Amino acid sequence: MRMNGRCYTPLLRMLHLPGYETLHFADLAVVIGILLFAGLAHGTLGLGFPLLATPLLAIFTDVRSAMLILLIPTLSINIASTIKGGHWRDGIGRYWPIALYGAAGSMIGTRLLVLTDPAPYKLLLAAMILVYLHVERIGIRMAWVRSHPQLAYALFGLVGGFLAGTVNVMVPALIIFALEAGLVTAVAVQLFNFCFFFGKISQGLVFYHSGDFTIQVLSATLPLAGVALLSLAVGMALRGRIDAQTYRRWLRKILYAIAGMLIVQYGWIELR
């Protein structure tokens, strides 16, 4: 169903949009289930909440609406992960400019998302998932990342922020930077969460200015932050008890399936 040029589904009743005042329990169950799964994965691995939650929600709605639903939960996840993660001096203290460039890129990307049809972004989101899954196999070598760090901060920050603004997935660009800069895992994860946080702040400002992020949206999605934080805490408690390699393999399979569904869904919409 299209309203004011935007594609909405019954899932969006929870945002109190005109014409969707009645919330069905199934809609809320879908959202909560996705948040529980993504929060658990993030708690266990240290990242992955928007990477999993955004495409899963986008299967039921459009990317822009999924990002609105996830704005407050993602901010909450990022704050908790940053506080819990430690390594502030090694991660944030040294590489903080990336977060500022990321915020700028996120504003640009979100503004583009607000002004354009959200449907094609499902393809971009699927592409970013596939890049993430193969980023270590790409084998790109960028020796200049270490010799020209300021340029690297600007490039990877802006690209990552733009992707965060359009499809809510910044991590592929940041992983490439982390690999080329030689960051250890703990420092990289802390930096990722810090960048995600600034990206979501700037995204929220653009959504607010465009009239998409309202008091109604805030009140509807704020309780979802509690769901996300609960599953994050469980994931953190399970960290170290679960075979990480097996868990990552299953997550990779799930991401492949999500990317495939997004591509098929977009193709189906275009053929209709």
Q: How would DSSP label each residue in 89-156?
A: IIIIIHHHHHHHHHHHHHHHHHHHHHHS-STTHHHHHHHHHHHHHHHHHH----THHHHSHHHHHHHH
Residues 6+ apart with CB under 8 A from 95: 153, 191
- What pLDDT is attached to residue 142? 75
Per-position pLDDT tens, the chain of length 272: 333 334 444 455 555 543 334 446 677 888 899 999 999 988 988 778 998 999 999 888 888 889 999 999 999 998 898 887 666 666 677 888 999 999 999 999 999 999 998 889 999 999 988 988 887 676 566 778 888 999 999 999 999 999 999 998 888 888 888 888 888 877 888 888 889 989 999 999 999 999 988 888 888 889 999 999 999 999 988 877 777 677 778 878 888 998 998 899 888 767 66
pLDDT in tens, 189-206: 888 888 998 999 999 999
pLDDT > 90 in the chain, percent: 36
pLDDT tens for 166-192 read 998 888 888 888 888 888 877 888 888
Distances (CA, A) of 72 to 223, 228, 270: 9, 10, 31
Mean of the per-residue pLDDT values for the chain?
A: 83
Half-sphere CA count of 117, side-chain side, radius 13 A: 8
Handedness of CA 211, 7, 21, 226 (dihedral sign): negative
3 state SS of 3: strand
